[in-house]
Each structure stands twice: as structure tokens, then as C-alpha cells.
């Protein structure tokens, strides 16, 4: 009896979720595998890296709904990621608001921005849409860098004040375990929201827009409202990721949270995992962030200074290695990590009837 692939996916996802929940209680020493400064599973460095993996995975699955399902290649998710980081940080640090009002303000500002900017940007299509969203993102970058009214601290970065946060969140080092679980909860919530939207009638319209938007116009369906929904939901998820980021890292710096490099990284995560697959975006993001942190650790190893230049130079440049890995995936697995799983299933499906026929002949 063969189990449906969806049931298998739920079992695998549930198993990984259960494993990640108990990771902070695992004190195993695993040399040369973990990305943290210590090769211990529940060390502060490892939990922080895993929290970043979960956070970016949540943002990536939200972006996948817009890019992979709806076919909208936005270059502006960093705007909403930075909005979540800076508005939440300013409300807590500069204005000394409590946690809940600061969170509601952040989501409210992001919602208003997403509706207004989405309504403007979605008037154009294709590369023009990408350029408009990029322009908005760049404008926001220069805004926070200019330190308006001394709110963002400019290039020096705005450190988060923990005085208005609950005790279980006050300190990225002392409460790494709690922040780890919050990042994991964010990923679960983001994935659940995207799953509910994409599995609904609205999600089917998203796919129809991606395949042939003009056909929907002929059928009397106005794609604009659906594209705006996709844009707004994806933007709100990115904002949530920004809030989680500032809680985990504790400092907002324009070159880190508002640069277009963040957008390109998110796009690479989705393509690496497999656009339009949900779980592929999650895996792609986790693999990308893990490799980024792990290669930084490997490149800093003193023993590598004695290696030949042909090995030492690439190992000292993690971004070069990440780029090489991405190019290899594009060449040999254009559909990303998810396509490798689909190919494996297809081979098994084709091989099963042939094997049954051979058995009957024997």
C-alpha cells in the first residue's frame, strides 16, 4: 500500500518540527557540522544561527507565494523586512512603548504601506513592476540611512532596548532558547498562512495569473485584486520576519536589513529550494543561511592558511562558494531542491509498474 505524498509530507514535516522543538535540550558535541562558534547542538551560537534559518525560511515562503505562485517578481520585500525591524525597534527604543502596542503599530504601518505601494506598483507588469518595487526599497534604504529626526541612528545602527520587553525576551544571549522558539513559531505561522491561501480558490487564481493573466481578463476575472492580496500578505510576512530579526540580533543597521542584498538573498533562497513549492522555499532558505554561516566559520579556521592557494582563496570567500553552489543548481537542477525530490518520485513511479510486470513474468 502506497501512502499519498501529502500524508508523507505531513509526517516528514511533523517529524522535523518535533526535532527542532527539542533541539535546545540537546547538548551533543558534533564537530565540523554545526555553524555556531561551538560544535554543540544547543550552544548559543548554533541556536542563533538556526533561529535566523527559521526566520528567513518564513520570509522566503511568503515571498514564494508572490513569486512562485502568482508570478510577481518583486525586488522590494526588503522594504517590508526593514519596516518590521525599524518601526518595532523605534517604538520600543525611542518611544519606549510596550511590546504589544509596538507590534500592532509595526503591522499597521506595514499593512498601510503594502496596500498603497502595491496599488501603485501593480499598475505595471513584468520587469517594470520589479523596477518600481526596487525604487521604493532604495528610497526606504536612503531614508533610514539619513537618520530622520535621530530615529534610526543611521549607519551606526539602532540597538534594541530590552527594558520594555518581557523578561523572557530581554537579552539575545540570556534568552537565546526562547528567541529560537519564537523564530520557529514564526516559520510555522508563515507556512500555515501561505498554505491556507495557496490551497484556497484564491491560490488557484494566483496560479492562473502566473500562467496566463490575459485569459483571466477574458473570463471576466480582475487579476489586480488577487495580485494585491498576494503582495500584501507576502509583505506582512516579511514584516514579521523583520520583527523576529531584531529580537534575535538586537541591532538594526541599514546595510544589513535595508540593502537590496536582502532581496537578492531571499530570491536565491526561493529559486534554490524550488519556486512554487512552499516547502522548497523553506528548505532553500535554511540551506542558504546555514551554508552562509558555516562557510564563514570554515573560512576563519587558522589551519586553512597552510592550504594551497587554489583551495585557500575560495574557502576564505564564502559568498564565492555560495554563488558557485547556486550556479550548479541552476545548471543541473533548474527547479531547485524540490525538483530533485520530484524526479526521484517520478523514477520510483515509473519503476514500480516495470518491477511488478517483471515479477509477474517470473
Domains of the chain: 28-296 (1.10.3470)
Provide the pLDDT for residue 62. 96
- CA separation for the pair 205, 34 (Å, rounded): 42
Provide the pLDDT for residue 351. 56
Provide the pLDDT for residue 28. 87
Please say whether the beta carbons of 84 and 243 come within 8 A.
yes
- CA separation for the pair 207, 197 (Å, rounded): 12
**Coil vs helix vs strand at 167:** coil
Provide the pLDDT for residue 362. 43
332-to-201, 202, 280, 328 alpha-carbon distances in Å: 34, 33, 16, 6
The C-alpha angle with vertex 175 and arms to 182 and 154, in degrees rounded to 5, equals 80
Between helix 318-332 and helix 279-299 the angle, nearest 10°, is: 140
- CA separation for the pair 59, 236 (Å, rounded): 9
C-alpha cell at 251: 541591532
Residue in the block written with cell 516528514: 12
- DSSP class of residue 40? B
Q: Chunked in runs of 10, what are the mean pLDDT values of the chain (362 residues)?
A: 64 88 89 79 90 96 96 94 96 94 97 96 93 95 93 92 84 79 97 95 93 84 93 97 94 92 92 90 93 78 69 72 80 82 65 47 46
Phi, psi of 158 (to 5 degrees): -105, 110
Provide the pLDDT for residue 332. 81
C-alpha cell at 224: 489586480
Provide the pLDDT for residue 302. 67
Amino acid at each position: 500500500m502506497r501512502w499519498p505524498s501529502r500524508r508523507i509530507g505531513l509526517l516528514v514535516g511533523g517529524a522535523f518540527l518535533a526535532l527542532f522543538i527539542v533541539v535546545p535540550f540537546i547538548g551533543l558535541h558534533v564537530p565540523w557540522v554545526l555553524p555556531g562558534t561551538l560544535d554543540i547542538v544547543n550552544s548559543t551560537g548554533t541556536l542563533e544561527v538556526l533561529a535566523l534559518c527559521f526566520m528567513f525560511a518564513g520570509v522566503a515562503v511568503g515571498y514564494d507565494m508572490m513569486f512562485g505562485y502568482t508570478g510577481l517578481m518583486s525586488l522590494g520585500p526588503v522594504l517590508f523586512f526593514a519596516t518590521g525591524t525599524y518601526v518595532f525597534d523605534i517604538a520600543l527604543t525611542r518611544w519606549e512603548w510596550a511590546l504589544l502596542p509596538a507590534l500592532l503599530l509595526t503591522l499597521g504601518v506595514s499593512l498601510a504601506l503594502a496596500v498603497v505601494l502595491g496599488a501603485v506598483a501593480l499598475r505595471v507588469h513584468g520587469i517594470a513592476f520589479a523596477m518600481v518595487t526596487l525604487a521604493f526599497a532604495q528610497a526606504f534604504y536612503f531614508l533610514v540611512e539619513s537618520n530622520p529626526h535621530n530615529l534610526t541612528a543611521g549607519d551606526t545602527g539602532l540597538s534594541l532596548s530590552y527594558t520594555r520587553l518581557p523578561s523572557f525576551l530581554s537579552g539575545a544571549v540570556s534568552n537565546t532558547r526562547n528567541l529560537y522558539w519564537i523564530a520557529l513559531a514564526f516559520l510555522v505561522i508563515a507556512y500555515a498562512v501561505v498554505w491556507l491561501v495557496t490551497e484556497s480558490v484564491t491560490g488557484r487564481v494566483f496560479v492562473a495569473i502566473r500562467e496566463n493573466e490575459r485569459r483571466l481578463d477574458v473570463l471576466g476575472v480582475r487579476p489586480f485584486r488577487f495580485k494585491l492580496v498576494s503582495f500584501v500578505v507576502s509583505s506582512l510576512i516579511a514584516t514579521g520576519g523583520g520583527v523576529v530579526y531584531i529580537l534575535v540580533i538586537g541591532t538594526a543597521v541599514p546595510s544589513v536589513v535595508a540593502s537590496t542584498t536582502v532581496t537578492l538573498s531571499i530570491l536565491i533562497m526561493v529559486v534554490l529550494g524550488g519556486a512554487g513549492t512552499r516547502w522548497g522555499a523553506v528548505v532553500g532558505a535554511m540551506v542558504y543561511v546555514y551554508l552562509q554561516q558555516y562557510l564563514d566559520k570554515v573560512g576563519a579556521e587558522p589551519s586553512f592558511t597552510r592550504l594551497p592557494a587554489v583551495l585557500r582563496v575560495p574557502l576564505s570567500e564564502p559568498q564565492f562558494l555560495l554563488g558557485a553552489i547556486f550556479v550548479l543548481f541552476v545548471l543541473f537542477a533548474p527547479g531547485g531542491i524540490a525538483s530533485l525530490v520530484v524526479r526521484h518520485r517520478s523514477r520510483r513511479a515509473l519503476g514500480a509498474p516495470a518491477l511488478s510486470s517483471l515479477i509477474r513474468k517470473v
